[in-house]
C-alpha cells in the first residue's frame, strides 16, 4: 500500500488549475443564492421572515453544487491520476522470480506426502504454471549453490531440471542458504529489473539466518516457502527484515499468498522502469461524474447553458477520437483495446489500439504473427525488435528472427534476454538445417512420431510430418523412458555442479 502511495502522481497536472476555478465559481454563485432577496428593513421579524423568499434555500442542494462536484471530478480525471505502470506483456506479466530450492537429504522426509522435496516440486511447478508468460529462474543449494536455469518463460525447460534435482545431484553436503542469495541476485541484476527471490526450504541454520538479517537484498523481495507439516514453523526466519514467510499448505492458499507477495515486487519493479508507460486511471473518476450528471434530470434542476459550456473543455479527453460509437465518449481507443485484451478478444484489440506496439502485441496473442511482425519491424525501438524476434520464432521464420534479435542488441547492447534468444534462435536454425541434411542423406536423426521434420522438396523453413516406425529394435516402455531421462538429468546436473565447484576453487 505504501509503495502505491509513493508512486501516486498526475500525468497532466496543469488540469488541476481548473479545480480552484470551479470552486471559485461555485462560491460566487452559492453566495448569491444564499443572500437575501427582499429588503425587509423596518418590518417585524415574523413579517420579514414570511416575506423573505428562499431564505432557507442555503440548507438545500442547488444545481451549482452538482456542477461543482462534476467539475472537480472531471478536472481530476483530466489530470490523469496514476500510481502504476502498464506492463510490457511480451516480456512478463509479473516480476521476474528466482526460485532457490533446498536439495538435501532432509527434504526427502516423508512427513509431507510423498516427500518434502516432491511436494516442493509440485508447488514450484504450479507456481510457474500460474505465472504463464512470466520469467522464472532456478537455483539449487545444499553445501554449495548453483544456478540451474536462467530466467525463462518456458515451463517446459524448468520441469525436467526440477525432476533431476535430488540430493545425489549436489556435489557438497550441507545447508548454506546464504550462498544461494548471491547467484539469485546476479540473475536479477542481469535482468535489469527488480524482482523476487523465493526460497523453498524445510529448515535454516540459525547462523545462516543471521547472515540473512545483515544481508543487503538491494531492493529485492525475499520470500520463504516452508516445506513443513502443519503446526511446525521456522521462527528464525521472523527476524529477517522485509521477508515474507508462507507455510506450505495442502491446497492452493499458499500459492495465492506467494502471488500477492510477487505482485508487490512487480509494482516496485514497474515504478523503477522508465521504459514503461504510466497507467492513466482518470476514467475511474469519470464514472461518478457521469452519475452526478443524472441529477440534472431532477425536476427544478436546470443549468444555464453558459455553465454547461464551461464543462466542455474538462470533458474532452487527450488523444485522437474515432467514430466507434458511444464508447468514444468515455474511453480512448487504447482503453477500448485494453478492455478487449482483458476479455481475450485479441484480434479485435489489435484493430482498436492506436499504440502500434500494443496493436502488434494483440495480433501476436491472436496468432496473427505475420501482421504482428510487420508492425514490430516498423518500430525503431529495442523492445519492438525483441518482440519481432519472438514473433518470427512463433511463425518459424528463424533467419528473420536472428536478424531481429541482432537489431535489438544493436539498439540496446548487453541485453541478456536478447542475447539468450539470439543464441537459441541460432541453435534452432542449426538443428533445422542439420535435420534436413540428415533427412536428405537418410541418416537417423532420432525423430519420433509426431516430431517435426522438413520437406526436402520445399524451401527451408517449411515443415511436414512423418510417421516413425511403431516398433523399434530396442523399444522402451514410457516409464522406463521417463526414468532414464530423470537419471540422466541427475547425473548431468551433478557433473555440471562439480565442474563449477572446481572452476571456483581455481
Which is nearest to 166 in space by CA: 242, 204, 127, 115?
Answer: 115
User: In the beta sheet, which residues pair with residue 245?
Assistant: 224
Per-residue confidence (pLDDT) for residue 476, from 0 to 100: 41
235 contacts 209 by C-beta, under 8 angstroms: no
Per-residue confidence (pLDDT) for residue 36, from 0 to 100: 55
End-to-end alpha-carbon separation of the chain, Å? 48
> What is the residue whose three cell numbers read 525475499?
222
pTM metric for this prediction: 0.51
Higher pLDDT, 308 or 116: 116
How high is the mean pLDDT of the chain? 76
Cα separation, 308 vs 27, whole angstroms: 17
Cα separation, 117 vs 113, whole angstroms: 9
pLDDT category of residue 47 using cuts at 50, 70 and 90 = low
Greatest distance between any 2 Cα atoms in the chain: 121
Rg for the chain, CA atoms, rounded: 31
Stretch 497-501: mean pLDDT? 87
For 467-486, the pLDDT digits (tens) are: 333 334 334 443 443 344 44
Cα separation, 116 vs 451, whole angstroms: 36
59 contacts 42 by C-beta, under 8 angstroms: no
| Strand, helix or coil for residue 151 | strand
51 Cβ neighbours under 8 A, 6+ residues apart: 38, 40, 43
Buried/exposed 295-307: b ≥16 CB within 10 Å, e otherwise:
eeeeeeeeeeeee
Cα separation, 355 vs 361, whole angstroms: 10
104 contacts 143 by C-beta, under 8 angstroms: no
Higher pLDDT, 83 or 311: 83
Q: Which helix (H) or strand (E) holds 425?
A: helix 416-441
Q: Is 386 exposed, middle or buried (0-12, 13-18, 19+ CB in 10 A)?
A: buried
Q: Is the dihedral of CA 39, 41, 43, 47 positive or negative?
A: positive
Higher pLDDT, 461 or 240: 240
Stretch 209-238: mean pLDDT? 84
Hey, what's the cell of 244?
Answer: 515474507
Per-residue confidence (pLDDT) for residue 456, from 0 to 100: 37
CATH topology of domain 368-468: 1.25.40
CATH architecture of 97-272: 3-Layer(aba) Sandwich (3.40)
Angle between helix 398-411 and helix 369-377 axes, rounded to 10 deg: 30
CA 424 to chain centre: 23
Which is nearest to 225 in space by CA: 253, 187, 186?
Answer: 253
Residue 319 is given by DSSP the state S
Per-residue confidence (pLDDT) for residue 180, from 0 to 100: 93
231 contacts 134 by C-beta, under 8 angstroms: no
Per-residue confidence (pLDDT) for residue 346, from 0 to 100: 87
Total Cβ atoms within 10 A of residue 3? 13
Which is nearest to 90 in space by CA: 409, 492, 479, 373?
Answer: 373
State the SS3 of 342-408: HCCCHHHHHHHCCCHHHHHHHHHHCCCHHHHHHHHHCCCCHHHHHHHHHHHHHCCCHHHHHHHHHHH
Domain boundaries, the chain: 2-84+279-315, 97-272, 368-468
Hey, what's the cell of 130?
Answer: 500460474
Per-residue confidence (pLDDT) for residue 245, from 0 to 100: 93
Q: Alpha helix (H) ranges present in 109-216?
A: 116-130, 155-164, 177-191, 206-214
Hey, what's the cell of 57?
Answer: 434555500
User: Between the ranges 81-95, 136-150, 327-341, 406-420, where is the mean pLDDT highest?
Assistant: 136-150
Higher pLDDT, 459 or 415: 415
Which is nearest to 222 in space by CA: 191, 197, 193, 204?
Answer: 197
Stretch 417-429: mean pLDDT? 84
For 88-115, the pLDDT digits (tens) are: 555 555 678 999 999 999 999 988 888 9
Please check the confidence at residue 40 and state whether its pLDDT lies above 50: yes
SS3 percent helix, strand, coil of the chain, rounded to 5, is 55, 10, 35
Per-residue confidence (pLDDT) for residue 477, from 0 to 100: 42
pLDDT category of residue 276 using cuts at 50, 70 and 90 = low
Stretch 267-276: mean pLDDT? 62
Per-residue confidence (pLDDT) for residue 140, from 0 to 100: 96
For 318-357, the pLDDT digits (tens) are: 443 343 455 666 677 888 888 888 788 888 888 888 888 8
Please check the confidence at residue 129 and state whether its pLDDT lies above 50: yes
For 172-215, the pLDDT digits (tens) are: 999 999 999 989 988 888 876 678 899 999 999 888 888 888 77
Cα separation, 55 vs 338, whole angstroms: 52
Cα separation, 292 vs 63, whole angstroms: 11
For 439-454, the pLDDT digits (tens) are: 555 544 443 333 433 3
Cα separation, 469 vs 451, whole angstroms: 12
Q: What are phi and psi of 367, to 5 degrees?
A: 85, 10
Stretch 392-416: mean pLDDT? 89
Please check the confidence at residue 316 and state whether its pLDDT lies above 60: no
Amino acid at each position: 500500500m505504501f509503495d502505491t502511495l509513493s508512486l501516486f502522481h498526475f500525468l497532466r497536472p496543469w488540469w488541476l488549475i481548473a479545480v480552484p476555478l470551479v470552486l471559485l465559481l461555485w462560491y460566487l454563485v452559492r453566495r448569491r443564492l444564499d443572500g437575501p432577496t427582499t429588503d425587509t428593513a423596518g418590518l417585524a421579524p415574523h413579517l420579514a421572515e414570511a416575506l423573505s423568499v428562499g431564505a432557507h434555500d442555503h440548507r438545500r442542494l442547488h444545481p451549482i453544487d452538482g456542477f461543482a462536484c462534476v467539475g472537480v471530478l472531471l478536472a481530476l480525471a483530466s489530470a490523469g491520476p496514476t500510481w502504476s505502470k502498464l506492463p510490457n506483456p511480451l516480456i512478463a506479466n509479473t516480476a521476474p522470480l528466482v526460485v532457490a530450492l533446498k536439495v538435501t537429504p532432509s527434504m526427502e522426509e516423508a512427513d509431507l506426502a510423498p516427500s518434502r522435496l516432491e511436494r516442493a516440486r509440485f508447488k514450484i511447478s504450479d507456481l510457474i504454471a500460474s505465472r504463464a508468460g512470466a520469467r522464472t529462474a532456478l537455483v539449487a543449494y545444499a553445501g554449495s549453490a548453483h544456478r540451474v536455469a536462467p530466467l525463462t518463460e518456458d515451463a517446459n525447460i524448468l520441469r525436467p531440471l526440477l525432476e533431476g534435482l535430488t540430493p545425489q545431484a549436489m556435489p557438497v553436503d550441507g545447508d548454506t542458504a546464504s550462498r544461494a542469495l548471491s547467484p539469485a541476485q546476479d540473475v536479477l541484476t542481469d535482468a535489469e529489473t527488480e524482482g523476487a527471490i523465493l526460497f523453498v526450504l524445510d529448515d535454516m541454520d540459525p547462523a545462516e539466518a543471521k547472515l540473512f538479517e545483515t544481508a543487503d537484498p538491494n531492493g529485492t523481495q525475499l520470500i520463504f516457502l516452508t516445506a513443513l507439516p502443519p503446526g511446525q514453523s521456522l521462527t528464525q526466519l521472523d527476524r529477517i527484515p522485509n521477508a515474507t514467510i508462507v507455510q506450505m499448505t495442502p491446497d492452493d492458499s499458499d500459492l495465492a499468498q506467494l502471488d500477492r507477495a510477487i505482485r508487490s515486487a512487480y509494482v516496485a519493479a514497474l515504478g523503477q522502469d522508465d521504459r514503461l508507460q504510466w497507467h492513466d486511471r482518470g476514467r475511474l473518476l469519470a464514472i461518478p461524474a457521469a452519475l452526478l450528471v443524472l441529477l440534472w434530470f431532477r425536476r427544478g434542476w436546470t443549468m444555464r447553458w453558459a455553465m454547461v459550456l464551461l464543462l466542455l473543455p474538462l470533458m474532452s479527453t487527450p488523444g485522437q477520437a474515432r467514430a466507434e460509437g458511444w464508447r468514444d465518449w468515455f474511453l480512448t481507443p487504447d482503453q477500448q483495446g485494453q478492455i478487449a485484451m482483458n476479455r481475450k478478444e485479441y484480434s479485435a484489440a489489435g484493430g482498436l489500439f492506436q499504440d502500434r506496439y500494443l496493436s502488434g502485441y494483440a495480433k501476436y496473442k491472436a496468432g496473427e504473427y505475420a501482421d504482428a511482425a510487420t508492425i514490430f519491424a516498423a518500430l525503431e525501438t529495442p523492445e519492438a525488435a525483441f518482440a519481432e524476434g519472438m514473433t518470427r520464432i512463433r511463425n518459424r521464420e528463424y533467419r528473420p528472427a536472428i536478424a531481429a534479435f541482432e537489431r535489438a542488441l544493436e539498439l540496446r547492447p548487453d541485453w541478456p534476454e536478447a542475447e539468450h534468444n539470439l543464441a537459441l534462435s541460432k541453435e534452432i536454425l542449426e538443428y533445422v538445417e542439420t535435420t534436413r541434411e540428415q533427412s536428405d542423406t537418410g541418416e537417423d536423426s532420432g525423430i519420433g512420431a509426431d516430431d517435426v521434420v522438413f520437406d526436402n522438396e520445399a524451401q527451408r523453413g517449411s515443415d511436414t510430418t512423418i510417421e516413425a516406425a511403431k516398433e523399434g529394435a530396442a523399444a522402451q516402455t514410457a516409464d522406463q523412458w521417463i526414468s532414464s531421462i530423470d537419471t540422466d538429468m541427475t547425473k548431468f546436473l551433478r557433473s555440471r555442479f562439480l565442474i563449477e565447484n572446481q572452476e571456483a576453487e581455481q
